[in-house]
A and B are shown apart, each in its own frame.
Chain A
Amino acid sequence: MNRIGEKLAPWLFTIALFVIWELVCRIFKINTITLPAPTVIYGAFVQHWWPIFTNSMVTLWTTMAGFGLAVVFGLILGIVVGWSRTIYRGLYPVMIGFNSIPKVAVVPILVIWFGIGEIPAILTAFLISFFPIVVNVATGLATMEPELEDVLRALGARKIDIMLKVGIPRAQPYFFGSLKVAITLAFVGTVVSETIAANRGIGYLMTLAGSSFQMPLVFAGLIALAIEGIVMYAIFAYIEGRMTRWAFRSSMNVAS
């Protein structure tokens, strides 16, 4: 494969997927209620473009609000957890336990607290997406080379100096790497909440369409979500590349 082929590959694969999907639907004459063909979904898109667009925007802003909260709190908690081994050991099991709870189970509680609407969606997006940020920031801080810490401590550096000069810059690739993961999870959180308890948003639209067997519209909603997810992922991947170019060039390996 040459370079142009590599650039085109994502598009070719996406197109191929839709072509196969269309062919399978036509050859096996699959009922639209079971699995609508891409052309039928496209028809639904054109027909219902306004509700899809407005509800997508609702989903987008609630996701971004939840994600924004996750970035702020994830960063703070990550730094706190990465700061000392004691806090790390103390908080880690609690966070693991918290992260193991399916967020679907939390939505009814949030609805009781805050009512139906955008707030449960924002909070679900926040709850689901802040964990990878915390873990990555804490890992970035905790894996600092001990020798480097010795060099600085032998110079009389305080913990805060070490954090500002080394820890936080060093954790940046981990942080930006985690944003890509967190943004897609935030979409999951929002839609889960919208599906259960909301009166706007893509999740709500899909539930509504599903209840009246408008399967093309349900799938159109799914496609809209996928597109939003890909766009946001691409934006954060780009930001990551811009902010931490050194990490891709140096030998320091970063798990995302």
Chain B
Amino acid sequence: MVVIEDVTLTYGGAATAVTAVQGTTLTVGRGEFAAVVGPSGCGKSTLMRLVTGLVKPTLGTVSVDGALVTGPVKIAGMAFQNANMLPWRTVIDNVMLPLEIVQPYRSRYRAEKAQFKERAEALLATVGLGGFGHRFPWELSGGMQQRASLCRSLIHEPALLMLDEPFAALDAFTREELWCVMRDLWQRLHFTVILVTHDLREAAFLADTIHVMSARPGRIVLTKKVDLPRPRDLDVCFEPAFTDIVHELRGKIAEVRQA
């Protein structure tokens, strides 16, 4: 689904050039849940912008769905640490925003608005926000806003979902709740996910494959398969196999931070 081949990205001019990622190679299969972890400032977010075509690599190639990425990919859903809801729209109108932009929904939007609305309501209900559609984002808690933000990134059924630390600003309990929401959504809809995170437990709980990035300039230094059986329950976090994975990742990150 996503193939990043020997990609280097350099920002700025010749004198002040900053290399964000260097010689990165990464493959994510269709329907795979991939996580990217690494020390802060290692270019994880840059990787997301590369995959969605928001920035062009200086060297190397990125392809999504078999096609070379030359501009914004137009199929990706994105969610960030900040929910970024539009405060003048109700929750349901926020969730429906992608349908106003992405084809083929865009041209059918006026005619089929009622069906789209039902669909958005249904999606909101699956993340536990049933009946909150008519509220405004500022009437919701941070966790609820983040759920709505996930709905917005999924409403147009993207083949590719990019998550940039979407749970980082939440408290520990809400975060674990949302892991389960994410797990259920993914298991039901089976899109491809690239999750960028600092949280190793989050990566190990959700992902099929975890890629560890080195400090800037970022490179992939370790790719770890997570073989824990699915569906995973939160209790899996307390099993030895799980803690072993987290431990190994932690060791690797400590090592690359030293270097």
Give me the interface of A with B, judged by CB distance under 8 Å: 145, 147-148, 150-157, 161, 165-166, 169-170, 172, 244, 246-247, 249-252
Known contacts A151-B78, A165-B100; is A250 also within 8 Å of B87 by CB? yes
Stretch binding the partner chain, chosen from B68-76, B182-190, B233-241: B68-76
Q: How far does the alpha carbon of A148 sit from the alpha carbon of B86 in the complex, in Å? A: 9
Mostly, the B contact residues are: loop
For B86, the chain A residues whose CB sits under 8 A away are 148, 165-166, 169-170
B101 touches A156 (CB 8 A): yes
For A153, the chain B residues whose CB sits under 8 A away are 52, 54, 72
Q: Judge if B57 is at the interface, Cβ distance under 8 Å.
A: no
Shortest A256–chain B CB gap in Å is 17
For B156, the chain A residues whose CB sits under 8 A away are 155
B54 touches A155 (CB 8 A): no
Q: Judge if B31 is at the interface, Cβ distance under 8 Å.
A: no
B88 touches A246 (CB 8 A): yes
- Interface residues of B, count at CB 8 A: 31
Shortest A163–chain B CB gap in Å is 12
Of the residues A147, A157, A246, contact of B87 by C-beta under 8 Å? A246
A156 touches B84 (CB 8 A): no
Q: How far does the alpha carbon of A169 sit from the alpha carbon of B87 in the complex, in Å? A: 10
Query: Within B42-86, which residues are at the interface with A (CB < 8 Å)?
Result: 49, 52-54, 72-80, 82, 84, 86
For B78, the chain A residues whose CB sits under 8 A away are 150-151, 154
A147 touches B54 (CB 8 A): no
Of the residues B80, B82, B137, B153, contact of A250 by C-beta under 8 Å? B137
Q: Judge if B138 is at the interface, Cβ distance under 8 Å.
A: yes
Q: How far does the alpha carbon of A153 sit from the alpha carbon of B98 in the complex, in Å? A: 10
**Inter-chain pairs besides A153-B54, A154-B77, 9 sampled, C-beta below 8 Å:** A151-B84, A153-B72, A154-B53, A154-B73, A154-B76, A155-B72, A170-B86, A250-B136, A252-B87
Q: Judge if B162 is at the interface, Cβ distance under 8 Å.
A: yes
For A170, the chain B residues whose CB sits under 8 A away are 86, 88
Shortest A253–chain B CB gap in Å is 11
B101 touches A147 (CB 8 A): no
Known contacts A161-B101, A246-B138, A250-B137; is A154 also within 8 Å of B72 by CB? yes
Q: Judge if B181 is at the interface, Cβ distance under 8 Å.
A: no
Q: Judge if B102 is at the interface, Cβ distance under 8 Å.
A: yes
Shortest B139–chain A CB gap in Å is 8
Mostly, the A contact residues are: helix
In the complex, the number of residue pairs spanning A and B with C-beta atoms less than 8 Å apart equals 76
Q: Judge if B97 is at the interface, Cβ distance under 8 Å.
A: yes
Shortest A175–chain B CB gap in Å is 13
For A172, the chain B residues whose CB sits under 8 A away are 88
Shortest A7–chain B CB gap in Å is 27
Shortest B48–chain A CB gap in Å is 9
Q: How far does the alpha carbon of A152 sit from the alpha carbon of B80 in the complex, in Å? A: 13
**CB nearest to B81 among chain A residues:** A147
**CB nearest to A247 among chain B residues:** B87
Q: How far does the alpha carbon of A202 sit from the alpha carbon of B99 in the complex, in Å? A: 55
Of the residues B54, B88, B102, B138, contact of A150 by C-beta under 8 Å? B54
Q: How far does the alpha carbon of A165 sit from the alpha carbon of B100 in the complex, in Å? A: 9
B136 touches A155 (CB 8 A): no
For B82, the chain A residues whose CB sits under 8 A away are 145, 147
B52 touches A150 (CB 8 A): yes
For B72, the chain A residues whose CB sits under 8 A away are 153-156
For A155, the chain B residues whose CB sits under 8 A away are 72, 74, 76-77, 98, 101-102, 156
